[in-house]
Structures are given as structure tokens and as C-alpha cells.
């Protein structure tokens, strides 16, 4: 090596941050909360290269990471280059299989705290003491798309929570919808095969709008309730922070006297329930396919920690059969108006993962991970899930020791006689790995239930072995109707349009026909309106039995759906707009686009920005170009995005401040008017002050009276030509808090 070369290499020696080895401390940016047991546990495996030398995996310092070892200037690479081989080999094996479903996801750390002891109804340790913070790791996901698919697919969102309790891990593996497509786990592979891209051409990605999905659904009337949810705006959330979560199945709570009650779990977001429009969702998929992932990440980085309250619906054992549906049927919910949701604690997400792969990708949720005080019911979907998760993770994570991966290992100590296997990390000491034994004094030994040993709820079962759907599961339409009836008019319109879109993408006429027939069982007007959009008519009857999952000659009568009488006609808690559970609307963390150019009115920008900031919203500048913009009085503002890199669909509302020169520049930029028109079409709040109001007029969607201070004549349009900026700002906040102004939307 030449002297010159050696010099260059030495000069690349580290000078930045001091290493952990040097200081004996975690780097300042590690971000672990002092009292968070799980974060402290994860920190044991954290690596931070700041201030460190580059080494091989064997810890040998590397002198040259630019050139492989070769025989002479232009010669072949030598096999002995262990540095090259180690690096390339590791790279070659970096990928693991993506999840078979819910492959696309994002996650965060946080904690859960119960409001008051739940001892009378459950002995679960983490639900006893309001002073205890239980660490959680939460992964949100879509179901059908691949790992790299868009966040904005029309789909169910997974809402999986791992509680690292002192008594072991408890996983509440839920969704953002309270019911499911199918009643029996044996249909899950069929459902997933049907919704995934079609096998012959792998089209379409992350979309249910294709023949195989609707072919399957049209033969599975039990899916109709879930179809109403998936066609509603719940399937296209504005933010993962603004959606509910549900455990779906009925579970059991058990107290320390062994008494059981049924329980349904809910997560209620404190930011309210909000969605985007389907047209926006499609545009966001192009503009920012990481929209939800980015939103969650940024909120946590900004200290806007998302919060949910854990709600429970409790049903006494004696009331098991007092509903017009079966509590074990996962296509049914218990209307909140019949059994209220009691909010028992709060979850706060306050830390982003350090490493996506190590944490978000390797986390393994499992419905079978329960703790004393919680137990299963015989819901046949739940029963299948308890098997499925562990089974799939054996393949996905490569062997039986994935519980040792830092994100999966419990904070409760684990001791048993399970041994060895692929990539075993634990070094089990001692001579024995069996039980009973005397050589190790019988350790590890069983724990009595008084010492926290898990005992399954002793449910009495005395039955014939059968393959049959319970007749109590055969009402497939009543709750689908209840859901549709409970929606506001705009929400109903969105369902109709979603069905027109989805079925419009179906190429086989018979599938559409079967779907229209099923929709007519839910609501005749709904079916007619969908049919109208498809240029079809609703069939009066179909020849084939509707449920093909059990052959008609085996159980011809029993499998035909039947309708039960409903205790209520509508449940406002099912609507996002009319929902009484979210009475106070906040604009916290909402993103407001300020359209401006050089020559903006300084006060009109700064004052309104401050008013929005006080309400917790963020003002972002969108301009004809990037760089620094200067106001009339010399204020400088950095453009957050240009019309090329930003888009109205990425914002919740738009404001055009005055300033003749700024407005003139915006008028000369066709994208500015498009921005406004689009936001208007998507029923968002638009505000303008001073000359900014001219842009509204020139965009052509609103008539403003010419006189100063006049208000626009449309809902969600807030303007003031000469008026008070304070009043404008406050009116703006009120209008944004309504989320959208659906009166502006054309009816179906
Ligand atoms: C109420 C119905 C269901 C809900 C709420 C649900 C929820 C979820 C969620 C949230 C995930 C993502 C977990 C994560 O973030 O890693 C997931 C993954 C998965 N689910 Fe389900 N699921 C349901 C039904 C089923 C059924 C019936 C089966 C099979 C019988 C099943 C099998 C799977 C599998 C295999 C994965 C991938 C797990 C992994 O690779 O880690 N799910 N499910």
C-alpha cells in the first residue's frame, strides 16, 4: 500500500460521538423511557455505530470497505476474501418471507394503564393497579397487500397490541372493524386466496376490486355484514391514529374466584374517527404510498403521541343466549346501545421503533398469547386463529425460537424444558431438561393458580363431534342492514359508490348479479342504487343456493340464511359522522396547507399560523417553488413543498393568505387552482384572507360578494377580504373540526 493511501485511510478514523464502550452510557438519542421495562430489555440488544470502527461480524476491524481482494490490478477476486464473502453472504440472506396476510404494516412502542382495578371481573395482573404502566408494542397493517403496497388500499386495518405484562405476554390481535368476513377458520385460506392478486397474473395488488374476491363473497352470504364495513369509509382511514380497534371475538374475563364473564374489546381513539374519500385514497397511493406510516412516525417524533382508550363490553354468563345473534359468531357485534362500552384504561404510543426489521417485521402476534384472567370462547374463527399464528411464524421467522427475538421476548422470566432448535439464543444451564425430575429439585416447577399458574376456564362441553354450522349462526343480513341503516347519508353514498367501483371492476356478469341479489337482502334501495351505477338490474331470485360452502345436498335447509328480528333499528355508534362516542372534535395534528408565494401578507400568515398552532394543527407552506419566500414586510418562510412535490390530498384544509404579489404568482400557476379545486371537491375546509379571496373566485368554485368582509356562500369556505384575522382563524378552526363538509358532495 502506498504511503498516501495509508494516510487517507487513517484520516477516516472516527471523530464524532463517543461510543458506549468509551462512556459506559447509552447514546443520548436512544430514546428509552427510564421506567419502561420492555425498552430497557430491548436496549440490551441495541447497537449504535456512532464513534465505532467498521468491523466484520467477528469483530475484526476492516481497513478497506471499497475494494475486494484481487490478484493484481486487473486480476480475479480471491476466494480467501473473507470480508467480501461475509458481507455478500449476509446481504444475500437479508430477506425473510413476508406475512401471508397483513404483510404491510407499521408499529410503535408505548404503554397501557388501567383507570381503576378491574379485580371484580378479571384477575389479569395488568388490569389491577392504575399506577402500573404496562409496555406495549402495537402494529397496524393492511391485510391483502404485499409489504411494499400502498397504505391507502381499501382494506381492513390490523390493530395488533402486544402487552408485555408481568405475568407474560398478552396479545390482543384485532382489526379496525368489529366483525369478520367468515364464521369458521376453515374458510380463511379461501378468503385470502380470493382477495390476494389473482394467481395466474398476480393482478391486482392490494385491492379487492377483482373477480376472485367478489366471486367468493357472492357465494358467502355470511360475509355481508363485513362487506358493509369494508365498503364504508372505515376501510380508508385518514390516519391510523384516528381509527377504532376491536378484538372482534367474544373473549372471557375470569376473576380470582374463578367466575367468568364474556367480554368484547374496543379501542377508542382520542383524536376521533376520520377517513379520506376513495378518490383521495387512490391519489394518495400515488403521491405518498407511505401516508399512514409517515403520519404515525411523524406524530410520535413531534411528541403528538396517539392515544386510545380500552373499552370493554361485559356480558354475564347467564345472558349468553339473550341476544338475537350468537356471541360466538364473529360476523356479529353487540350494539353499544344494548351493552355499553366501559372505558377501562388508556394506551399511549410514545416511541418509534429503532429498527423496522428487528421490531416491526420480526414481531410475532399470536391470539394464543393470553394471561391468567383472560380466556377464549368457542368462536370457531378464534379457535382456528389460535393454531394459525404460531404455525405461520415457524416458517416466517425460521424456527421454533422466535420467542427469543428481543421484540417478542416477555419481560416476565421464562423457564421451561424446551430446548435447542434453529438459532437458539438461551444458554440453558444444568443437567435436566425434563419434568418431573429430582436431579434439579423438580425445577422448573408448576405454579398453582393461586401463584399465577394459568388454568383454562373449565367450560362444560358435552357434545357430538360434527362438521356443522350452528343454526344460531345463520342470520347473515340483519346486522348488515343495521350497519347500513346506522350510516349518515354521505356515508351511505360512499358505500354505494364503493360497491359501484368494486363491482364495476368485476368482469364476470354472473358475479355482479349474485352480489346485487345479496345486497338486496341487506337493503333494496342500496342494491338498486348500486345496480344503477352498474347499468344492471337486481335479480328477483337466484337458482343456486347462496351458501356454497356446504353442499346443498348435504344440508339444504340449514345453510340457507335467515333473518332474525333486531332489537334496534339503528346504532349511531356504527356511524363515523353521527357517532355519539366522539362528541368533541379536535383539529390536533391536522395538516393545513398555506398556499403562498413571494409578496405574501406577513400578518395574514403569521397570525393564522399561530392560531392554528395553538389549536394543535400544523401549517405547512406550499409554493410554486421550493426555497425561501419573502413577505411584503420582509418575513421569510421556507416552502415545505412545491406544487410538484405536494398535493391537496396530503392535507386536511387549505388557506390562501393575502398579498397582491403572492396571489398574482399563484394565479399564474395552474397547479394552485387545481389544488384548491381538488380540496373543494373533497369537501375540505378552505380559507382565504385579503387578496387570497380572489384566488377562490378565479378557481371558479365559489361566489364571493364583492364587498369587504363578505362570507362565501358555501359550507366550509371561510373568507375575510378585510376582516379580523382572529375571527377568521377561529372560524377556520371550527370548520376544520367538522373534518369534511359533506353538504358540498353531490348525492348519489
Ligand atoms: C377476527 C378475525 C381476524 C383478525 C382480527 C385478524 C387480525 C390479524 C392481524 C392484526 C394480523 C397482523 C399481525 C401483525 O401485525 O403482525 C394478522 C396476521 C395474521 N392472521 Fe389474522 N386475523 C383474523 C383472522 C384470521 C384467521 C381466521 C386466520 C387463520 C385461520 C388468521 C391468520 C393470520 C396469519 C397467518 C397472520 C400472519 C401472522 C404472521 O405472519 O405473523 N387470521 N391477523
Index of the ligand 1 atom closest to the CA of residue 382: 27
Please report, for residues 1, 57, 64, 82, the alpha-carbon distance to residue 68 in angstroms, rounded to integers and kept in the order given. Answer: 14, 17, 8, 10
Pocket of ligand 1 contains residue 389 by CB under 6 Å: yes
Residues ≥6 apart with Cβ < 8 Å to 655:
592, 593, 594, 595, 608, 619, 686, 687, 688, 689, 692, 732
Residue of 169, 175, 176, 401 marked catalytic: 175
> What are the pLDDT digits (tens) for 74-98?
999 999 999 999 999 999 999 999 9
Q: Which pLDDT band holds residue 107 (cuts at 50, 70, 90)?
A: very high
Share of the chain above pLDDT 90, in %: 86
Index of the ligand 1 atom closest to the CA of residue 102: 12
Q: Note the pLDDT of residue 748.
A: 82
Please report, for residues 198, 280, 281, the alpha-carbon distance to residue 205 in angstroms, rounded to integers and kept in the order given. Answer: 9, 18, 15
For residue 93, count CB atoms less than 10 angstroms from its CB and return exposed for 0-12, middle for 13-18, buried for 19 or more: exposed
Whether pLDDT at 11 is above 50? no
Residue to substitute in 143, 156, 158 for testing ligand 1 pocket (most ligand atoms within 8 angstroms of CB): 158
In whole angstroms, give the CA distance from residue 84 to residue 636. 50
Pocket of ligand 1 contains residue 264 by CB under 6 Å: no
Residue to substitute in 250, 385, 405 for testing ligand 1 pocket (most ligand atoms within 8 angstroms of CB): 385
Q: Among residues 88, 99, 95, which one has the least CA distance to residue 144? A: 99
Let me know if 292 is a catalytic residue: no
Q: Note the pLDDT of residue 543.
A: 67
The protein residue with its alpha carbon nearest to ligand 1, atom 34, reads 389
Index of the ligand 1 atom closest to the CA of residue 141: 15
Higher pLDDT pick, 722 / 685: 685
> What are the pLDDT digits (tens) for 329-384?
999 999 999 999 999 999 999 999 999 999 999 999 999 999 999 999 999 999 99
Whether pLDDT at 641 is above 90? yes
Mean pLDDT of 20-40: 54
In whole angstroms, give the CA distance from residue 729 to residue 710. 15
Q: Note the pLDDT of residue 723.
A: 72
Whether pLDDT at 401 is above 80? yes
Grid cell 380463511 is found at 188
Q: Note the pLDDT of residue 546.
A: 60
Mean pLDDT of 309-330: 97
Let me know if 200 is a catalytic residue: no
The protein residue with its alpha carbon nearest to ligand 1, atom 28, reads 385
Pocket of ligand 1 contains residue 392 by CB under 6 Å: yes
Pocket of ligand 1 contains residue 115 by CB under 6 Å: no
Q: Which pLDDT band holds residue 712 (cuts at 50, 70, 90)?
A: low
Pocket of ligand 1 contains residue 217 by CB under 6 Å: no
174 CA from centroid of ligand 1 (Å): 8
Pocket of ligand 1 contains residue 105 by CB under 6 Å: yes
Pocket of ligand 1 contains residue 330 by CB under 6 Å: yes
Whether pLDDT at 601 is above 50? yes
> What are the pLDDT digits (tens) for 239-262?
999 999 999 999 999 999 999 999
Q: Which pLDDT band holds residue 560 (cuts at 50, 70, 90)?
A: low
- 8 Å CB contact between 96 and 398: yes
Helix spans in 36-187 (H):
37-43, 82-92
The pTM is what? 0.93
Amino acid at each position: 500500500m502506498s504511503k498516501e493511501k495509508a494516510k487517507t485511510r487513517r484520516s477516516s478514523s472516527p471523530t464524532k460521538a463517543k461510543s458506549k464502550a468509551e462512556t459506559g452510557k447509552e447514546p443520548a438519542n436512544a430514546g428509552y423511557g427510564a421506567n419502561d421495562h420492555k425498552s430497557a430489555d430491548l436496549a440490551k440488544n441495541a447497537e449504535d455505530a456512532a464513534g465505532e470502527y467498521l468491523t466484520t461480524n467477528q469483530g475484526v476491524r476492516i481497513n478497506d470497505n471499497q475494494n475486494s481482494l484481487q490478484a493484481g490490478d486487473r486480476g480475479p477476486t480471491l476466494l480467501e476474501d473473507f470480508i467480501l464473502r461475509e458481507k455478500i453472504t449476509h446481504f444475500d440472506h437479508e430477506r425473510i418471507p413476508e406475512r401471508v396476510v397483513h404483510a404491510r404494516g407499521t408499529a410503535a412502542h408505548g404503554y397501557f394503564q388501567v383507570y381503576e382495578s378491574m379485580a371484580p371481573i378479571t384477575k389479569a395482573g395488568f388490569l389491577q393497579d392504575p399506577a402500573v404502566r404496562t409496555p406495549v408494542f402495537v402494529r397496524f397493517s393492511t391485510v391483502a397487500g404485499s409489504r411494499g403496497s400502498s397504505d391507502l388500499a381499501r382494506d381492513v386495518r390490523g390493530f395488533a397490541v402486544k402487552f408485555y405484562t408481568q405475568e407474560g405476554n398478552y396479545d390482543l390481535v384485532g382489526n379496525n372493524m368489529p366483525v369478520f368476513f367468515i364464521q369458521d377458520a376453515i374458510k380463511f385460506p379461501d378468503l385470502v386466496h380470493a382477495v390476494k392478486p389473482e394467481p395466474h397474473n398476480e393482478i391486482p395488488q392490494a385491492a379487492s376490486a377483482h373477480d376472485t374476491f367478489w366471486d367468493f363473497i357472492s357465494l358467502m352470504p355470511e360475509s355481508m355484514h363485513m362487506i358493509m364495513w369494508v365498503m364504508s369509509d372505515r376501510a380508508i382511514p385518514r390516519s391510523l391514529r384516528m381509527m377504532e380497534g376491536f378484538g372482534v371475538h367474544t373473549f372471557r374475563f375470569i376473576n380470582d374466584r374463578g367466575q367468568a364473564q364474556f367480554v368484547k374489546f374496543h379501542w377508542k381513539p382520542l383524536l376521533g374517527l376520520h377517513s379520506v374519500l376513495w378518490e383521495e385514497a387512490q391519489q394518495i397511493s400515488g403521491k405518498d404510498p407511505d401516508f399512514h406510516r409517515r403520519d404515525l412516525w411523524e406524530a410520535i417524533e413531534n411528541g403528538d403521541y396517539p392515544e386510545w382508550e380500552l373499552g370493554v363490553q361485559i356480558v354475564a354468563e347467564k345472558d349468553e343466549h339473550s341476544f338475537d345473534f350468537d356471541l360466538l359468531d364473529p360476523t356479529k357485534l353487540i350494539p353499544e346501545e344494548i351493552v355499553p362500552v366501559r372505558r377501562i384504561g388508556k394506551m399511549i404510543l410514545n416511541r418509534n421503533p429503532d429498527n423496522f426489521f428487528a421490531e416491526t417485521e420480526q414481531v410475532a402476534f399470536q391470539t394464543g398469547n393470553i394471561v391468567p384472567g383472560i380466556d377464549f370462547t368457542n368462536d370457531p374463527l378464534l379457535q382456528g386463529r389460535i393454531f394459525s399464528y404460531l404455525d405461520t411464524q415457524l416458517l416466517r421467522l425460521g424456527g421454533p425460537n422466535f420467542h427469543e427475538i428481543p421484540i417478542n421476548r416477555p419481560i416476565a422470566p421464562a423457564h421451561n424444558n424446551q430446548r435447542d432448535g434453529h438459532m437458539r439464543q438461551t444458554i440453558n444451564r444444568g443437567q435436566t431438561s425434563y419434568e418431573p425430575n429430582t436431579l434439579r429439585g423438580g425445577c422448573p416447577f408448576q405454579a398453582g393458580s393461586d401463584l399465577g399458574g394459568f388454568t383454562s376456564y373449565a367450560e362444560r362441553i358435552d357434545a357430538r363431534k360434527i362438521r356443522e354450522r350452528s343454526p344460531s349462526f345463520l342470520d347473515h343480513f340483519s346486522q348488515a342492514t343495521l350497519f347500513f341503516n346506522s350510516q349518515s347519508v354521505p356515508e351511505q353514498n360512499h358505500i354505494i359508490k364503493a360497491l359501484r367501483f368494486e363491482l364495476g371492476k368485476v368482469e364476470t356478469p354472473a358475479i355482479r348479479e349474485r352480489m346485487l341479489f345479496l345486497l338486496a337482502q341487506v337493503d333494496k334501495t342500496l342494491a338498486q342504487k348500486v345496480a344503477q351505477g352498474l347499468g344492471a338490474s337486481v335479480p328477483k331470485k337466484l337458482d343456486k343456493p347462496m351458501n356454497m360452502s356446504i353442499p346443498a345436498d348435504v344440508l339444504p335447509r340449514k345453510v340457507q340464511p335467515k333473518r332474525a328480528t333486531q332489537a334496534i333499528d339503528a346504532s349511531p355508534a356504527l356511524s363515523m359522522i353521527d357517532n355519539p362516542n366522539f362528541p368533541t372534535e379536535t383539529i390536533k395534528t391536522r395538516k393545513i396547507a398555506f398556499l403562498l408565494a413571494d409578496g405574501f401578507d406577513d400578518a395574514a400568515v403569521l397570525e393564522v399560523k399561530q392560531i392554528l398552532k395553538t389549536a394543535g394543527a400544523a401549517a405547512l407552506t406550499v409554493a410554486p417553488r421550493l426555497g425561501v419566500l419573502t413577505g411584503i414586510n420582509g418575513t421569510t418562510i421556507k416552502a415545505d413543498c412545491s406544487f410538484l412535490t405536494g398535493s391537496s390530498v396530503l392535507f386536511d384544509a387549505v388557506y390562501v393568505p393575502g398579498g397582491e404579489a403572492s396571489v398574482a404568482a399563484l394565479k399564474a400557476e395552474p397547479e394552485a387552482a387545481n389544488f384548491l379545486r381538488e380540496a373543494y371537491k373533497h369537501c375540505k375546509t378552505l380559507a382565504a384572507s385579503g387578496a387570497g379571496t380572489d384566488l377562490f373566485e378565479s378557481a371558479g368554485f365559489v361566489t364571493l360578494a364583492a364587498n369587504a368582509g363578505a362570507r362565501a356562500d358555501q359550507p366550509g369556505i371561510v373568507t375575510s377580504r378585510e376582516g379580523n384575522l382572529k375571527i377568521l382563524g377561529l372560524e377556520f378552526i371550527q370548520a376544520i373540526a367538522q373534518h369534511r363538509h359533506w353538504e358540498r358532495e353531490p348525492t348519489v
